[in-house]
């Protein structure tokens, strides 16, 4: 059994995610999101959808980008 790197649970159905050449082990998608998903630069929520990116800064949505002073940003449709 593998051990989740976030919660420490040993689980027979743990899975690996490779991101940027580094492999991580998790027991749930919740733990994977907690460890790997970026945070919105405005509101701080985890970005688990498409989000938007402006000059390397990640936002959860165009609204948050706009609230941070970015202009001309639209959510993906």
Q: In the chain, which stretches have pLDDT less than 70?
A: 77
48 and 31 housed in the same domain: no
Work out how many domains the chain is built from and give that number.
2
Nearest CA to 33 out of 42, 45, 20 is that of 45
27 and 49 housed in the same domain: no
Contact present, 27 and 33 (Cβ < 8 Å):
no
- Residue 58 pLDDT: 96
28 and 42 housed in the same domain: no
20 and 54 housed in the same domain: no
The whole domain housing 76 covers 38-77
70 and 44 housed in the same domain: yes
Q: What is the pLDDT of residues 48-65, one digit of tens each?
A: 988 999 999 999 999 999
- The whole model's pTM is what? 0.81
């Amino acid at each position: 059994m593998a051990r989740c790197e976030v919660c420490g649970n040993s689980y027979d159905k743990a899975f690996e995610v490779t991101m940027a050449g580094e492999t991580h082990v998790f027991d749930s998608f919740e733990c994977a999101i907690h460890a790997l998903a970026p945070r919105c630069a405005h509101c701080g929520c985890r970005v688990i959808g498409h989000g938007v990116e402006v000059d390397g800064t990640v936002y959860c949505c165009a609204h948050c980008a706009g609230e941070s002073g970015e202009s001309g940003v639209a959510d993906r449709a």
